[in-house]
Amino acid sequence: MTEIAFPFRLDSRGRTAGADADKHIEHLVAQVLFTAPGERVNRPAFGSGLMQLAFAPLGDELAAAVQFQVQGALQQWLGNRIQVQAVDVQTDDTTLQIAVRYAIKGQAQPRLVHFSRSF
C-alpha cells in the first residue's frame, strides 16, 4: 500500500505523490522532529519542541537536551510503529546534526536517518 508523501506534493501525473512504507516512516520521524507542540489543532502536544531550541547556545548541553527530547518524542508518538535504537546529536558553531537509528516493528533491519539544521 502506498502512503501519502511528505511534504504533500503532486507527482508527474498530477496526482497525490506517494511513498512506500519505509519512506513513510522516515517522513513520520521528520514530522515529529520538526513539528512544534501546539502547531497541530487536534493534537496540541504532538511534536518534539526541537525548533524551540533554535536560539539556545550550541554545545554539549544543547546536544544532551536535544537527544532527550527527540528520543522521548519519537517513543511517545511513533512507539507503536518503530523501536528507537539510538539518537546521536552533534553540534558545531552553527549546525545541529541529528542521526536517528531505528527499526520498524516487525522488521529486523535497522534504519538510519540524518537531519541537519543550521542556525
> Which CATH number do you get for residue 63?
3.10.450.40
The confidence band for 54, taking pLDDT boundaries of 50, 70 and 90, is low
DSSP state of 20: -
If one counts the domains in the chain, the total is 1
At 20-29, the pLDDT tens digits run: 888 889 989 9
Comparing 2-16, 24-38, 46-60, 101-115, the range with the smallest average pLDDT is 46-60
At 61-93, the pLDDT tens digits run: 888 888 998 999 999 999 999 999 999 988 877
Q: Distance from first CA to last CA of the chain, Å, rounded?
A: 38
Torsion, Cα of 80, 84, 90, 96 (10° steps): -10
The boundaries of the domain holding residue 95 are: 3-118
Listed in sequence order, the residues at least 6 apart from 86 whose beta carbon sits closer than 8 Å to its beta carbon are 99, 100, 101
pTM passes above 0.85? no
